[in-house]
Amino acid sequence: MLKEIGVFAPATVSNIGCGFDIMGFALEEPGDHVIIKRVNGYGTVISKITGDDGRLPYDTLLNTASVPVLAMKKDFGIDIGLEIEIHKKMPFGSGLGSSAASSVAATYAFNELAGLSLSKKEMLGYALKGEMIASGTIHADNIAPCLYGGFTLIRGYNPIDVVDIDYPNELYCTIIHPDIEISTRMAREILPKEIQLSTAIKQWGNCSGLVAGLLKNDFELIGRSMEDFVAEPLRSKLIPHFDLIKRLALSNGAVGCSISGSGPSIFAITKGQTNAINIVQSIKESLSNKDLKFDYYISKINKKGPKVLYIK
């Protein structure tokens, strides 16, 4: 058995406009690093957390990284001592799947450390246990793309059925992350429990159109299918200057623009890197005199998901 392993797991964009709780894709950056070390004894402890401003729990029953590891140890009867280090490399409450990245990184790392040889489908169930701690619900639109890489569709949850979706190779994503936080739980609470049939029909049509556009390399179809009639109208009110940012993205080369997950991050899909860079420059210029600070990322789609950083 290995003595130590470090794993990176990527940030993700979920919902992709119309696909609430069922669609997501992985980014090349940012992401989280998790290190798992084998130590003397039998227990599991979190020995170090960085990048969290002291906000994450060291209690292994309450941390998204340790919960899946504890479950795997129990299910496979692995009685070894472990130390877990978590290095947060992305902002909290950003809508970029921060909790999912830590959960996936830890699940992937322990699978490698213990030589379990689990498939990604098998690891998915354990990673979801960590996400459950963070959000209070089972939703895989961050966990699945983080673990599988690329674009994923969650066809169903009982049992969970993850479908890989092909996509245009020249697709780029621009992330604008305003310097505010939005709680996933709170962002879910403001959503309606029921929607009208006419709204559902429009949403179903856009989900189908988005998948078709990705498979056909049809950027125009991708763009017009990303309209969200359920979450964006309500959640956009929580994000300062959302309408301005979206308008600037669409007028500077974005084929589609919406909220990443529960927000406040806003993502724009472009054909090629040049348009992605133009969007950032335009938003920088327009928000220079506004009371909103923001970070940004420009990324291609991460095809692989988590990766091993080192092994000892």
Q: What is the pLDDT of residues 170-223, one digit of tens each?
A: 999 999 999 888 877 788 888 999 999 999 999 999 999 999 999 999 999 999
CA distances from 224 to 28, 30, 115, 256 (A): 25, 27, 45, 7
Tens-digit pLDDT profile for residues 268-280:
999 999 999 999 9
Please check the confidence at residue 134 and state whether its pLDDT lies above 80. Answer: no
| Three-state secondary-structure class, residue 213 | helix
Q: What is the domain partition of the chain in residue ranges?
A: 4-165+302-311, 171-300
Axis-axis angle for helices 66-75, 120-135 (nearest 10): 130
106 — phi, psi (to 5°)? -70, -45
d(CA 269, CA 175) in angstroms, rounded, equals 9
- Kindly report the average pLDDT of the chain as a whole number: 94
Predicted pLDDT of residue 215: 97
Query: Helix (H, G, I), strand (E, B), or coil: what is residue 121?
Result: helix
Which superfamily does CATH assign the domain made up of 171-300 to?
GHMP kinase, C-terminal domain (3.30.70.890)
Interval 140-168 mean pLDDT: 95
Q: Mean pLDDT, to the nearest integer, of 70-85?
A: 97
CATH of 4-165+302-311, one of 1.10.357.10, 1.20.1260.10, 1.20.1250.20, 3.30.230.10: 3.30.230.10
Percent of the chain exceeding pLDDT 90 equals 86
Residue 1 predicted with pLDDT over 90: no
Q: What is the CA radius of gyration of the chain?
A: 19
- Between 135 and 85, the higher pLDDT residue: 85
Residue with the two structure tokens 């992330």: 175
Residues above pLDDT 70, as percent of the chain: 99
CB 32 within 8 A of CB 102: yes
Contact criterion met (CB below 8 Å) for 99 and 61: no
Q: Is the pTM of this model over 0.85?
A: yes
The residues annotated with a catalytic role in the active site are 131, 184
Q: What is the separation of C-alpha 125 from the centre of its chain, rounded to a whole number of angstroms?
A: 16
What's the pLDDT tens digit per position in 8-21?
A: 999 999 999 999 99
Q: pLDDT tens-digit profile of 285-306?
A: 998 888 888 999 999 999 999 9
Longest dimension (CA), the chain: 60
Task: Note the pLDDT of residue 91.
Answer: 84
Contact (Cβ atoms closer than 8 angstroms) between residue 72 and residue 117: no
Nearest to 306 by CA among 144, 91, 88, 146: 146
Quote the pLDDT of residue 236: 94
131 pLDDT higher than 90: no
Cβ count near 264 (within 10 Å): 27
Residue 22 scores a pLDDT above 80: yes
CB atoms under 10 Å from CB of 216, counted, come to: 12
Q: Is the pLDDT higher at 93 or at 274?
A: 274
pLDDT tens by residue, 230-248: 999 999 999 999 999 999 9
Quote the DSSP letter at residue 104. Answer: H
